[in-house]
Amino acid sequence: MLLEEEYRLSEYVDLGRLNENEKVHIVRNKVNGVIGVRKYVAPDLKKIYLFLKKNPNPYIPEIYECIQTETNLIVIEEYLSGKNLEEMLQENFFSEREAAEVIICLCRALHPLHNAKMPVICRDLKAENVIITNEGKVKLIDFDIARIYQPGKSKDTVMMGTEGYAAPEQFGFGQTDARTDIYAMGVLLNYMLMRCFPLERITEGRLKPVVLKCINLNPKDRYQNVDELETAVSSAVSASYNMENVSIHKPPFYKIPGFQSGKLWKMIVSVLGYAFVTYFFWSLELSGSKGQPLAAKELTLERFVLWLSQIVFIFFVCDYMGIRRNIPVVNSKKRIIRLIGYVAAEFIFIFAAAVICVTLEAILFMHRAYQKRNKYG
């Protein structure tokens, strides 16, 4: 490692692990305050990550650093606030249009990679590796098993891929190429629409022919490049897409937690839950900071503040409009860390409500004292 590279690495402060993987940490640049993700990958990925760094792609995280050590390749890339498709699909199915938008974005992410002088094949395109950011942008992450296509080879040197998404050639039946990623996109398209793999059940909508063509066992029978796939998807949903700005739309602001999925049982449970919280806090018997009985106006205001603090907490836990996605602690994959984060958040909301209540009492007390003084001169 060169002295200059050591200096660049020293500019980043470690903020802790991003997930269970000890090799992936969140870092902050001390100079510009930018948050990034630092990970250690195999040294043979250097050409791929250097390509990504030199050729920024709006559908792939920006690569800030790519530094070779004696044993690893250190990559620092853009930190994305949002959810991956797997997490989103736990909450809802995608409509055909939404699924089509994702596939179109992935086609645009892969186009410059597949058409490079040394074509880059992702080989691990799956729901967990596609992020929908808080702004609704689609990002393809994780090129840790990607490879450079080598003309003339009969098959890959190392067989890698994720079961369910991996094409037959990833198991030794040929060399992976652009059509390997197209196979995975067909599987992903079906997964977004049905929440299952094509081997379990095929979608019956307008995109069924697209899925079937993508997942042909013979690469020659699939779409031959991502441009063909993008055209087929766009035609299938009869949509006119802005080639520069495709994004996944956020749920409307009026779809509060419990009503976003449209499922009747969830809405009924939510109504009962909101009703219980409302009844509980609006029936509280409160006293002042010195134990004195509260006037009707003060009692109403303090009940409202406490009730509102818990409604906001519910919205926070349910990630309404993405309000908690920028807080790593409550987005941790470890349940105990998430639980600690939620408990801490609850204490913060209650403390804030208590401070507001005390402040309101003081303001109303001063207001009454002022009125009394004016009354008696």
Q: What is the pLDDT of residues 285-321, one digit of tens each?
A: 877 667 777 778 788 888 898 999 998 888 887 767 6
C-alpha gyration radius of the chain: 27
Q: What is the pTM assigned to this prediction?
A: 0.66
Structure confidence at residue 76 (pLDDT)? 95
160 lies in the same domain as 197: yes
Structure confidence at residue 70 (pLDDT)? 84
230 lies in the same domain as 288: no
158 lies in the same domain as 91: yes
71 lies in the same domain as 107: no
Residue 325: inside a domain, yes or no?
Answer: yes
95 lies in the same domain as 210: yes
Q: What share of the chain is helix, strand, coil (3-state, %, to 5)?
A: 45, 10, 40
Structure confidence at residue 244 (pLDDT)? 44
CA gap 112, 205 in Å, rounded: 30
Domain final residue, candidates 62, 78, 94 = 78
CA gap 91, 260 in Å, rounded: 9
Position 315, amino acid: F
Residue 241: inside a domain, yes or no?
Answer: no
270 lies in the same domain as 231: no
Residue 243: inside a domain, yes or no?
Answer: no
Per-residue b or e along 148-177, where b marks 16 or more CB atoms closer than 10 Å to that residue's CB: bbeeeeeebeeebbbebbbbebbeeebbbb
Structure confidence at residue 38 (pLDDT)? 94
Structure confidence at residue 354 (pLDDT)? 87
Domain final residue, candidates 78, 98, 133 = 78
User: Are the CB atoms for 103 and 213 separated by under 8 Å?
Assistant: no
Domain count of the fold of the chain: 3
Which 3 state secondary structure label does DSSP give 56? coil
Residue 226: inside a domain, yes or no?
Answer: yes
213 lies in the same domain as 105: yes
215 lies in the same domain as 330: no
Per-residue pLDDT tens digits for 118-168? 999 999 999 999 999 988 899 999 999 999 998 877 676 566 788 889 999
Name the one residue in this structure whose structure tokens are 């749920």.
251
92 lies in the same domain as 25: no
User: Which element (helix H / strand E) includes 113?
Assistant: helix 96-114
221 lies in the same domain as 275: no
User: Are the CB atoms for 36 and 28 separated by under 8 Å?
Assistant: yes
Q: In the chain, which residues have pLDDT < 50? A: 239-246
Residue 244: inside a domain, yes or no?
Answer: no
CA gap 357, 290 in Å, rounded: 13
User: Which element (helix H / strand E) includes 138?
Assistant: strand 138-140
Domain, as residue range, for 74: 3-78
Structure confidence at residue 372 (pLDDT)? 72
CA gap 245, 261 in Å, rounded: 26
